[in-house]
Amino acid sequence: MARFVITGTGTDVGKTVFAAGLCGLIGASYWKPVQSGLAGNVPNPGRTGEAPGSHGAYTGRAPTTPASLTDVAQPGSDRAEVARLSGAPGHPETWMLREPLSPHRAAELEGVTIDMDALTPPDADPLVIEGAGGVLVPVTRQVLYADLFARWQIPVVLVASTGLGTISHSLTALESLRAREVPVHGVAFVGDPNDDNMATIGQLGRVRVLGRLPILPDLDRATLAEAMARNFERADFA
């Protein structure tokens, strides 16, 4: 099965752009279980799919059947960006939250309780799933994203920058994943060339280096598809 979780060494390392590129490369659909940071775009935050409950949040779960792929992505969401950059169909988020914070805190501020049992990946193949921030971002005050990945047992691609600090950040993320017995598929880099950093992480982290996505000054569907095809092997994600 070509199903992958995309996580990162931290915020703003290029996870969403890489996720879009991978969707285009392997023809996958896309799912982000919890989307935060949609202030002004979410009329009733919370769990999607049904009418708002008494606390003002959606209380029903979004369907994850193929028919749900017709659902329209919220402007400003990562699902909308992935669709723009790849044309990939997207599965509705299970929770949508207004504040640009870690899911656990954004949910608390809106009176939303994230039910971990509802965070079940769609029955789709190929599928690209994107987490939020780094591997140890809290989903709730009891569960980190790395814990969620361990539950799913879907191979993880760690997205890392090529610049200063990436060695420590990447090795820390890899150790956190392996401590929970999360299957690690490899590391994908985003940024300017830095062969030594990439090789060092591959060696010390005992991990496959999948490739490097350069910074694209004109980022659109065509330039991303071309860069992915040039810098990554489709067979590595079969």
**Residue 32: active-site member:** yes
Distances (CA, A) of 68 to 42, 96, 130: 19, 16, 18
Let me know: does 100 contact 35? Beta carbons within 8 Å. no
Degrees (nearest 5) of the Cα angle 46, 92, 170?
Answer: 90
Catalytic pick among 25, 26, 32, 107: 32
Would you call 17 exposed, middle or buried from its count of C-beta atoms within 10 A (0-12, 13-18, 19+)?
A: buried
Q: What is the DSSP string of 149-199?
A: HHHHT--EEEEEESSTTHHHHHHHHHHHHHHTT--EEEEEEESS--HHHHH
Look at residues 101, 102, 100, 117 and name the one whose alpha carbon lies nearest to residue 47: 117
Q: Which residues are catalytic?
A: 32
